[in-house]
Amino acid sequence: MRHLTKLIGTGLILVAVTACASHAATTGNPDEGGGPTIETTAPPVSGPVPAPQIDAAALPPEYPKNVTTAGNDLLIKAEEGGCEKLRATVIEQTEQKVAVRLVKLDTRPGEMCPMYIREVTLTVTLDKPLGQRTLVLTAERPK
């Protein structure tokens, strides 16, 4: 019986202290700096870049055209082969467009290569989010 009384008393004290602390944390005056901090800037928009916003006319058919934004980053989904590596580089940024060059490198010229494909994500960072600017994708294959 004595143990039960201590347990109930401890529980009541715990409830009272928790309730007081909760009330004190939510009743601060924001003008005095005691209130909660409110974030007022919206995060950059992230998500897939719509197909009409991508100009991929200069790309060979096998090159990637699946692009997603994440803040200031462009994430380009691509495929690489056994001896091929893809690289992406921002070559121009204006108020109207962003140009990215995709370069396919042969990592072992003249050697036999395994015939497999792996999915990769190429990331390039812009000065500011893509927004409504047109994304122009170009390709280069060094000789």
29-78 per-position pLDDT tens digit? 545 555 555 554 445 568 999 999 999 999 888 787 899 999 999 999 98
What pLDDT score does 80 carry?
A: 85
- pTM for this one? 0.65
Same domain assignment for residues 51 and 28: no
Distance (Å) of CA 62 to CA 38, 84, 92, 120 = 47, 13, 23, 14
Q: How many domains does the chain have?
A: 2
Structure-token pair, residue 79: 């495929």
Same domain assignment for residues 28 and 51: no
**In the block, residue with structure tokens 């928009």:** 45
In a domain, residue 39? The reply is: no
Same domain assignment for residues 81 and 21: no
Same domain assignment for residues 20 and 73: no
Distance of CA 112 to the CA centre of its chain: 36
User: Measured on CA atoms in the order 60, 126, 74, 42, is the torsion positive or negative?
Assistant: negative
Of the given ranges (9-13, 87-91, 94-98, 138-142), which has the lowest mean pLDDT?
9-13
What pLDDT score does 101 carry?
A: 95
Same domain assignment for residues 15 and 77: no
What is the SS3 assignment for 117?
coil
Phi, psi at 108, each rounded to 5°: -140, 70
Same domain assignment for residues 73 and 115: yes
Same domain assignment for residues 66 and 100: yes
Same domain assignment for residues 72 and 127: yes
Same domain assignment for residues 52 and 28: no
What is the SS3 assignment for 9?
helix
What pLDDT score does 98 carry?
A: 98
Query: What are the pLDDT digits (tens) for 124-142?
Result: 999 999 999 999 999 987 7
**In the block, residue with structure tokens 């140009």:** 99
Residue span of the structural domain in which 119 resides: 47-140
Same domain assignment for residues 81 and 111: yes
Distance CA 98, CA 81 (A): 27
Distance (Å) of CA 70 to CA 65, 97, 133 = 16, 17, 15
In a domain, residue 40? The reply is: no
CA neighbours within 13 Å on the CB side: how many for 103? Answer: 10
Same domain assignment for residues 22 and 69: no
Residue 105 reports pLDDT greater than 60: yes
